[in-house]
Amino acid sequence: PTVLAPAVHPGHGGGGLSPRPPRPCNLLVYMTAGRKDTLYRPGPDPQPALLHRRYRPLSLIAQGTFSSIVLCLDILYPVERRVAIKMVSPEQAFIGQQERAALSALDSPNITRLHDWFLHQGFVCLVLDLCGPCLLRALPRTRKNVHRLRKVAVQLVSALIHLQKAGLIHADIKPENILLRTPDSDISCSGSMAIKLTDLGNSVLSKETCAYWDDFNIQSLFYRAPEVVYRMKGFSYPIDMWSLGCVLCELFTGDVLFPAISPDHLSTLWQELLGPVPRHVFSSDPVSRGDQGRENLATISSRIGTHDPGLVTFIAALLDYNPWSRLTPQQALGHPFFSPLFPFGNSPFTR
């Protein structure tokens, strides 16, 4: 297979990008802070060097172990615009190319758009939309707003529909990868709550999941699906729907749903909330893959702190141990949880 298994870091830690206060930079040649020969110099410069002969670096937005994001001005666009350039280190260039290929196949208002890409000193540079901050950090402390969560959820489901149409599994859905669509997006209850799903560096084509069958090192631990933990070779799109269920609970409550420290611990946390894991579901024998009963709705309701029947049953349908009966993105849009958004019929996202 052409898709290579990337390094996956559990939960919120590891190699994720960390937001940084904006810093002016003279970006002659950019390298991540993990290298000794870092070549960006903090400080004002009226004429910083251009990247790819068109992008003027303005400040450092975020920095991680193997990649960084730089705010740049696109001086050749008909009207000068600000963009975010993700610079992936030479050591992880295959991940950068993997993300480039995935983004090139997508056209969704709820997924970060790739405007351009180029190589610079061995770095894979992806020119992306300039989005706002991470949604989780931007939300007010007074959470548990069902209407706000519904607006976010429908956009994430729409993004997953587009991914599936392109034959892609995101494989790293977590709050850090959900950004406000623009720096000034309205996150009030009456606002649009416009968001974008980002970071497709860990994405994989559904027909090439066999690249992970040796170690199943895919998905961040907190959001990892049962079929991955139990090493089911047939895992596919449903792993993203499990992650979605975990993320929606976290956005609603502000707390990680399954804050595990290991796969075994993760399994224990599942069973505390959802009951025993039906091990035969993950058998290689197709005959044994029967539908499982729904999780204890009262337990889920108590855990996330709401009695809203639409939300509770929606979460239960996403956190179905059985990937074969878990909601698909298309089925999710027909769930009663989204009825208030589409009072006159089908969702426009399915057209």
pLDDT of residue 344: 67
The CA–CA distances, whole Å, from 337 to 60, 81, 193 equal: 39, 38, 17
What strand order describes the sheet that includes 123-128? 18-19, 55-63, 67-74, 81-88, 123-128, 114-120
* Architecture of the 55-129 domain: 2-Layer Sandwich (3.30)
Measured CA to CA, the distance from residue 150 to residue 339 in angstroms comes to 10
- Look-up: residue for tokens 């958004």? 341
How is 24-67 classified by DSSP, letter by letter? BEEESS---TTSTT--EEES--SSPPPBTTTEEEEEEEEE-SSE
Bridge partners of 54, per DSSP, are: none
What CATH number matches the domain at 133-341, 3.40.50.300, 3.30.460.80, 1.10.510.10, 3.30.70.920? 1.10.510.10
- Given a contact cutoff of 8 angstroms between Cβ atoms, the answer to whether 4 and 98 are in contact is yes
Nearest to 125 by CA among 161, 153, 99: 99
Q: Residue ranges per domain, the chain?
A: 55-129, 133-341
The pLDDT value recorded for residue 226 is: 97
Identify the helix (H) or strand (E) that includes residue 72. Answer: strand 67-74
Q: What angle do CA 69, 38, 86 make, to 5 degrees?
A: 15
pLDDT computed for residue 34 by the predictor: 40
Q: Tokens in use for 60?
A: 């450092």
CA–CA gap between residue 272 and residue 328 (Å, rounded): 25
pLDDT of residue 345: 62
Predicted confidence pLDDT, tens digits, the chain (351 residues): 333 233 333 333 334 565 554 444 444 333 333 443 333 444 555 566 899 999 999 999 999 889 999 999 999 988 889 999 999 999 999 999 999 999 999 999 999 999 999 999 999 999 999 999 999 988 877 678 999 999 999 999 999 999 999 999 999 999 999 999 998 887 776 677 899 999 999 999 999 999 999 999 999 999 999 999 999 998 999 999 999 999 999 999 999 999 999 999 999 999 999 999 987 787 655 444 444 445 479 999 999 999 999 999 999 999 999 999 999 999 999 999 999 998 766 665 544
- For the annotated catalytic residues, the residue numbers are 172
pTM for this prediction: 0.84
